[in-house]
Amino acid sequence: MLKIIHQKNCHSITDNHIGTNHSSCSYIYEYPKITSMLVITCIFISCMISESKPLQFASERQLLIFGKENNSKLLKEQKEILEKVNDGVKERDLKTTFLDKGDPLCKTYRVKAGEFTVVLVGKDGMEKHRTDKLLTAEELFSIIDSMPMRKAEMRKKG
């Protein structure tokens, strides 16, 4: 059933006035079931947006390396791997960050306290790769180079 809510004391509305432009009046058309569904949908979408990452692009990719003293050997080896290929890291706009168990990003990326984990985050802010093992330079560069944004960067540079 179509109900028309009439505002601002405008003239009465008949079926032949629907769709005509009344600049001095505003009409709200209500479909009770559709209105309810729209409200529910809007609430759902707003919740999804508030929980998701922003759609802005960062200027660099992030390599987040989580760990602590009990796996310091893995942290040291991962750091050495990345230092050997520093030029490739720079070329791919990759910022490396070492994090310990107290960092808030542990919760954000669901990493257990003290667990060795490597997380690659793209320029779009989305997680691209995760491992609990050492990440070789070849594997890292292969993952990054297969990303659409990286392919566009390589085409642009020629």
Quote the pLDDT of residue 102.
81
DSSP per residue over 61-92, as a string?
EEEEEE--GGGHHHHHHHHHHHHHTHHHHHHT
Q: Which residue's structure tokens are 């659409």?
A: 148
Count of CB atoms within 10 A of residue 62's CB? 19
Q: How far apart are CA 132 and CA 147, in angstroms?
A: 21
Task: Say how many CA atoms lie within 13 Å of 38 toward its Cβ.
Answer: 6
What are the CA-CA distances from residue 2 to residues 27, 28, 30, 34, 121 (Å)? 12, 10, 6, 11, 49
Alpha helices by DSSP H, listed for the chain, are 32-51, 72-84, 86-91, 105-108, 137-145, 148-157
pLDDT tens across the length of the chain (158 residues): 444 444 444 444 444 444 444 444 444 444 566 666 666 776 666 655 545 444 467 899 999 999 986 668 999 999 999 999 999 999 999 999 999 878 899 899 999 888 899 999 999 999 999 999 999 999 999 999 999 999 999 999 87
Phi–psi pair at 11, nearest 5 degrees: -60, 160
Is residue 24 helix, strand or coil? coil
pTM summary value: 0.63
